[in-house]
Amino acid sequence: MTIATTPLPDGGSIPVFGLGTWMMGERADRLDAEIATLRAGLEQGVTLIDTAEMYGNGGSEKMVGQAIAGRRDGLFLVSKVLPHNASRAGTIRACEQSLRRVGTDRLDLYLLHWRGQHPLAETVAAFEDLKASGKILRWGVSNFDTDDMAELQAITDACQANQVLYNPSRRGIEHDLLPQAQKAGMPIMAYSPIEQGRLANNRTLADIAARHQASPAQIALAWVLRQPGVVAIPKTSRPDRVAENVQALDIRLTQADLDAIDTAFPPPTRPQPLDMI
């Protein structure tokens, strides 16, 4: 399958569907299955893999490196720096360590995982240093709300993406953050698009799934992907679930489906604090 892409502000593009790796790379007895899962995704045509130095204290990045060994070209790799490492020198050091763990010379996108104590200007300067040296191709942020984005945009317009929690049960960003990102042409990367699997048991989504000969998880993913400029990065440790998730790209929800989801999960009517897991 060829997976569609959405534009980035710098003129590049990012696939609208990828593989999340949160809580992977933490246990030796699961490593083979996790590597097999990522490789199954690559065989399905998935090229976007999202990881972070926080996940498994670097174990996730190492696991990604094993899964993609010999297959780096054509992939879109994302990792993240922890806030307490995000000083100018600390960001560069953290990125270099991430590169070694993944076994690559560059990241396609490098994110600040969430706001911390270091001034944003320091982190931005480090990101630009990393770009200049070719160690990252672009940078972005994660878990930034509207006020965080306003502060960042006062410093620079070079941010390429914002990764946040978004799924039918977590719709707060639709009031302001998502429209602002769409207006700016900046992709939103939706983590936990199935609410860590909990939406797979939702009755409303199950009813809609039955009409589409699909699963509730696929309906949740199709709902997230209906939005322009939104990227879904579901995490699974099972190869068969990767194929199921990829098939969600072919589902087109009807207006009746969307209305039923709105009834079960009402859209926001006022600004809300950014949800995080």
Binding positions for substrate are 113
Distance of CA 104 to the CA centre of its chain: 20
Residue 88 is encoded by which pair of tokens? 């100018």
Distance of CA 170 to the CA centre of its chain: 15
Q: Give the SS3 label for residue 170.
A: strand
Half-sphere exposure of 156 (CA within 13 A, CB side): 17
CA torsion sign for 63, 43, 104, 124 is negative
Q: Examine the residue annotation and report whether 55 is marked as an active-site residue of this protein.
A: yes
Round to whole Å and give the CA distance between 51 and 32.
Answer: 17
Round to whole Å and give the CA distance between 41 and 93.
Answer: 30
Residue among 55, 110, 166, 191 flagged as catalytic: 55
H or E element: which one contains 31? helix 31-43
Residue 20 is encoded by which pair of tokens? 């999340």
Residue type, 161: A
Round to whole Å and give the CA distance between 160 and 173.
Answer: 17
Q: Give the SS3 label for residue 192.
A: coil
Catalytically active residues are 55
